[in-house]
Amino acid sequence: MRARILTSLLTVAGLALAGSLAAAPPAQADGKVIAVSGSLTNRPSGLPPGGTPAARQLGSASVRVVRDQDLTTATVALKAAPTSAQNAYLRLTIGEYDSAGKCEGLIEYHTQTYPAPSAGWSRSGATYTLSSTSEWLLDDYDCAFAAVASDLTSSPTTYDLLGGTLHPEYAQPALQVTSVALLGKPKLKLVPGVWTKVDVEVRNTGAGIAKNLTVSGSGKGVKVRPGSLSYDLYPNSTGTVKVQVKLKKRAKGKLNLVVSSGAAAASTTVKVKPAKAPPALRAGTYRSKDKSVTFRVKRGKVVGFRVRTQTTCGGYPDFPTYTMNWYDMPTFKLPKSGVIDVTDKGDLYTATLEGRASGKKVKATFRYSGPDRCRATEAFVAKRAG
């Protein structure tokens, strides 16, 4: 605490000079603030006094405070390199605006301008650099000023001063494409001329939230319809975006994918190979061996899909409940590729059906999620029964 009181006393003169530097702190945006930083460009009137040597005048100053690391970095440049005859004290003060709009100093870093800088400081010619973790930093710094003064008393002669507002830096997302797959398989074998949904898994490895995340694509021999994530991707979480891809002809292609959220972006390239179209699913009634899944195929469409499966609701900290329930899916058209990727989404639930159809058989997985943390999964093989 003594060091805190001392730095407060040392900045009294600087505070008086900083009154003209008042500025309203910027409005906070959504997201975690990881640092505050700014260039100090405001100089009070009357500074520097006439006849002040260039080595006691400030050319520029900037500062950055990283809160989680208790790290302060700064670069302060004089207008000329000092000599022993022009020795002075360089004082960097960081604080917050008070109710009157003045920058109230809370912590100070100082060094002699000549000959050798103090711990944490380094000098190259007329430029001084600070990198210090010696102080426990607060969370609400929003202003700073650099001054060149005669000494470290409470009422020094101030030769020059630059001040300004410290603006928040918000944590940013960092995106990574972790996999590109077709029905869980990394090899993309597509029937030419057919739009097919491809799953692009994206991970946010940054500290910020990825909003409005989209995936677009292009490439030799392919066409791409972009996709987007319907929710925000939080740090250290993964989401899957469905992108529609069509191979133009029976030849190998390359699919270039770009995932983006604001300024954050990542890309990957995967190979696409042609595949032979499977036999069309024959019309008739289909059911699984245990009759838990039933549906009909009529004029190239799946009609009356129903599945009976176990549903799990709730969970920690309470015990989950288990019930057997029937679910259905709306009528959907079977593509020439035989790839089934259908989503039925309501206000409170989402149901998906993914798999392959060929000739007289469908191998697929049904998934459901809904209110009260209810979820159900049923993998099945359904064959034509008549």
In this structure, the answer to whether residues 243 and 375 fall within a common structural domain is no
In a domain, 345, yes or no: yes
In this structure, the answer to whether residues 148 and 197 fall within a common structural domain is no
In this structure, the answer to whether residues 216 and 343 fall within a common structural domain is no
pTM of the predicted protein model: 0.69
Number of domains in the chain: 3
In a domain, 279, yes or no: no
In this structure, the answer to whether residues 201 and 259 fall within a common structural domain is yes
In this structure, the answer to whether residues 303 and 268 fall within a common structural domain is no
333-377 tens-digit pLDDT = 999 999 999 999 999 999 999 999 999 999 999 999 999 999 999
Strand order across the beta sheet in which 227-228 lies: 188-190, 264-274, 253-261, 214-218, 227-228
In this structure, the answer to whether residues 139 and 187 fall within a common structural domain is no
Residue 170: per-residue pLDDT: 87
Is residue 381's pLDDT more than 50?
A: yes
Last residue of a domain, one of 274, 297, 316: 274
Question: If residue 364 lies in a helix (H) or strand (E), which one and from where to where?
Answer: strand 361-370
In this structure, the answer to whether residues 83 and 224 fall within a common structural domain is no
195-246 tens-digit pLDDT = 999 999 999 998 889 999 999 999 999 999 999 999 999 999 999 999 999 9
In a domain, 335, yes or no: yes
Triad 287, 290, 295: Cα angle to 5°: 20
In a domain, 114, yes or no: yes
In this structure, the answer to whether residues 349 and 294 fall within a common structural domain is yes
In a domain, 74, yes or no: yes
Last residue of a domain, one of 274, 294, 315: 274
Tell me if 161 sits within 8 A of 14, measured CB to CB: yes
Residue 265: per-residue pLDDT: 95
In this structure, the answer to whether residues 261 and 142 fall within a common structural domain is no
In this structure, the answer to whether residues 11 and 147 fall within a common structural domain is yes
Residue 134: per-residue pLDDT: 85
Domain that holds residue 220: 175-274
